[in-house]
Structure formats: structure tokens, C-alpha cells
Amino acid sequence: MLEFFFAPDTCALASHIALKDAGAEIRLRRIDFGKAEQRSPDYLKVNPKGRVPALVTERGILTETPAILAYIAQSFPAAGLAPLDDAFAFAQVQAFNSYLCSTLHVAHAHRMRGHRWVDAADAEAIAAMQRKVPESVAACYAYIEEQVFAGPFVMGESYSIADPYLFTLAQWMEGDGVDPRGFPKLATHRQMMRSRPMVQGALRAENA
């Protein structure tokens, strides 16, 4: 059985949805950020980075959403979560997920985690980063909407591990000061994802 560490309202939701899509048998482990459990000695033994998600497998522990998603797709090929028989297409999925991880999520994080880049006491720098978030995050969504998103799913007709990841981050649009109406393809995708039973199941489990 896989053991999955998550916190509600984080990027861990993407992997949680994919695990449900795959039909994986998992044991959920909630990490309470409000109690700083991500920095507890016990959890730091699981993930020394002090972040979620973390997936405990029989071969060891995986962290970082793109890696976990690729592992799920490859470990449960019958679920059809990635074009595993097409090296180029699979690389395209990984490129998209890497962009979400390295660029969109980082732009979002400037809203509440500016202390990662400047001294926490530098209120002016923190405020400047927060002011920039609506612009920088919207630019990421514009790139996805105009250049990458194929529709109806991220990569086209087939659902993949890119879809729960995009859905997870797109839920934060309004909080980042981004109007979803400016990105009709992504807004439709977000609504479509919300109607999927596995997405609803993951959300219920995280909010239980």
C-alpha cells in the first residue's frame, strides 16, 4: 500500500486525484500546516524539505509533484494517465507539468511566501512581490491558454496527469487576483474537472 502525505489547499491535490484515477490503494496522512507539522521531526524524516506532497512507496519516498505524477502514470499503466508508448508525447506531458511546477506555482507563491526570496523583515520587498502576482500569474495562464492547451483536456482528447495538476493550480486564480473569465478555455477545463467523480472524491477526503 502507498502512503500519501498531503495538506489541504496545496498542490498535493494533483497527486491525490491521480492516485484515485489510477485506483491505487493508499493510506492518507494529513499534515496540518496550521500546527507547523511540516516542520516536525517526524515529518522531516519523510521529506526533509518540509513540504507536501510526499509518497511513500515500497522502494522509497518520492517528493515533487511532477515526479509523483509520472510515477503514478507509469506504475498504473492500465489507467491511461499518460501516453507511455510515445516518448515524445510523454515528454510533452512532463514539460507541461514542469512548467506548472517551476514557473506558475512559483509565481503564485510570491503572494504568501515572499520570505523564500527576501528577508521576511523587508516589508517593502514583500509587498512589491505581492503586487506583481496578478500580472505574473496571469501571464502564465495566458501562455497556457494561447500556446499549450489543446482541449478539451490539456494535451487534447485524452485525459492525463497534466489535467489534475492544472486544475489544482487553477483553483487559486481568484486568490491570485486573476479573473478566470479572461481564460475561457481554462475556465471550462476547471469546471469540467470539478464534475469528475475522482476529483470530487479527493476534495471530500481532503476536507473531511
- As assigned by CATH, the class of the 2-80+200-206 domain is alpha beta
| Per-residue pLDDT tens over the stretch 71-91 | 999 999 999 999 999 999 999
pLDDT, position 208? 82
What CA–CA distance (Å, rounded) separates 59 from 42? 19
The DSSP bridge pattern shows strands 54-57 and 60-63 to be antiparallel
Indicate the domain borders of the chain: 2-80+200-206, 87-196
Percentage of residues in the chain having pLDDT higher than 70: 100
C-alpha cell read off for 153: 483536456
Q: What is the pLDDT of residue 144?
A: 98
C-alpha to C-alpha distance for 55 and 45, rounded to whole angstroms? 13
What is the average per-residue pLDDT within 149-159? 98
Task: Extract the C-alpha cell encoding 29.
Answer: 496522512
Examine the pLDDT at 181 and tell me if it is beyond 90: yes
Mean residue pLDDT of the chain comes to 97
Q: Is the Cα torsion angle 129, 132, 134, 139 positive or negative in sign? A: negative
Q: Specify whether domain 87-196 bears CATH 3.40.50.80.
A: no
Take residue 103 and report the three cell numbers written for it.
Answer: 514557473
pLDDT in tens, 15-45: 999 999 999 999 999 999 999 999 999 999 9
Q: Is the pLDDT of residue 174 over 90?
A: yes
Q: Is the pLDDT of residue 9 over 90?
A: yes
For residue 115, pLDDT over 90 is answered with: yes
Q: Contact 54/67 with Cβ under 8 angstroms?
A: no
Three-state DSSP string of 23-81: CCCEEEEECCHHHCHHHCHHHHHHCCCCCCCEEEECCEEEECHHHHHHHHHHHCHHHCC
Among 90, 85, 73, CA closest to 14: 73
Dmax (CA) of the chain: 51
Per-residue pLDDT of 40-61, as tens digits, reads 999 999 999 999 999 999 999 9
| Amino acid present at 153 | F
